[in-house]
Amino acid sequence: MNSHKITTRKQLQGYGATTYQARVLTQSLSPVATQGKTYTYEITGVIASIREYLQRPRIKLVTCQKLESVLEALLNQLGNIIAIPFGKSSDLEISRLAKNLIQSMAKTDQALAELKATAATIKGKYVELSPD
């Protein structure tokens, strides 16, 4: 993938959004690339779009819950880390080990998020094919 984290409408559907919601959330965004015949969008733009959509006054509870789960999945895919001040410890060895542990956990979380993104893409493709 690119240095930018990207997602597709099918992936959003795999995370739980409806076809309509995936289209509305990405409608105002410019695609950054294509994967085959599918447009890809920056995750940060989709996150902002979801947060803006959730501010609507007449949104239903079920829709809100679905979009919250999609938002959580996208945030996990970004892999943002909150720094913990281990450097203030008097034992430098513990500080170094704690920093290594956090970095390893972040890599593991990132790999898990990427696997979930792949699973969501596959799920989104099969949701479209299944008769309702």
Residue 76 has pLDDT above 70, yes or no: yes
Domain-embedded: residue 1 = no
Domain-embedded: residue 24 = yes
State residue 84's pLDDT score: 54
Total tally of structural domains belonging to the chain:
1
pLDDT tens per residue, range 3-13: 568 899 999 99
Domain-embedded: residue 59 = yes
Domain-embedded: residue 18 = yes
**Enclosing domain of residue 37:** 6-129
Domain-embedded: residue 54 = yes
Q: Edge to edge, what strands does the sheet with 38-42 contain? A: 6-7, 38-42, 33-35
State residue 37's pLDDT score: 86
pLDDT band at 2 (very low <50, low <70, confident <90, very high): very low
Residue, of 46 and 132, whose pLDDT is higher: 46
Among residues 76, 12, 80, 86, the alpha carbon closest in space to that of 49 is found at 12
